[in-house]
């Protein structure tokens, strides 16, 4: 039984998805770095490091430090991310409803870039 074709397709698909994931990560890190710079938030380099990028978002939104815990609570994390993104949108002079768009599957990818460079 030869499964070489299925393995190759799986490897190519996995590799393609990994490249897409890296691209989205770099895009979001650049966007949040630009937002941090635009708002005068210290340490914009934290956008590149997982978990620290959440801390940076909380600092940009000017929320309390303990809010970082809420990001890791199931369901609550989604609500908190929307609230934080709404506050970030207001900090950069955009309408707060842009933060709500983060939960819309494809549109959510546009929001960080719009807030950073729009």
How far is residue 69 CA from its own chain's centroid?
17
The span from the CA of 116 to the CA of 16, in Å, is 27
Q: What is the largest CA-CA distance in the chain?
A: 61
Calpha distance 59→2 (Å, rounded):
54
pLDDT tens by residue, 99-118: 999 999 889 999 999 999 98
Residue where the block lists tokens 């900090």: 91
- pTM for the model stands at 0.88
Q: Encode pLDDT of 35-68 as tens digits.
A: 999 999 999 999 999 999 999 999 999 999 999 9
Q: List the domain boundaries for the chain.
A: 4-117
Class of residue 47 by CB neighbours under 10 A (exposed 0-12, middle 13-18, buried 19+): buried
């Amino acid at each position: 039984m030869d499964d070489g074709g299925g393995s190759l397709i799986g490897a190519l698909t996995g590799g393609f998805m990994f490249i897409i994931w890296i691209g989205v990560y770099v895009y979001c890190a650049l966007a949040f770095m630009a937002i941090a710079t635009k708002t005068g938030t210290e340490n914009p380099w934290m956008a590149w490091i997982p978990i620290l990028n959440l801390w940076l978002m909380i600092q940009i939104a000017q929320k309390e430090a303990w809010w970082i815990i809420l990001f890791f609570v199931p369901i609550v994390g989604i609500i908190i991310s929307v609230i934080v993104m709404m506050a970030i949108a207001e900090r950069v002079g955009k309408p707060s409803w842009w933060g709500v768009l983060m939960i819309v599957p494809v549109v959510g990818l546009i929001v960080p870039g719009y807030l950073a460079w729009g």
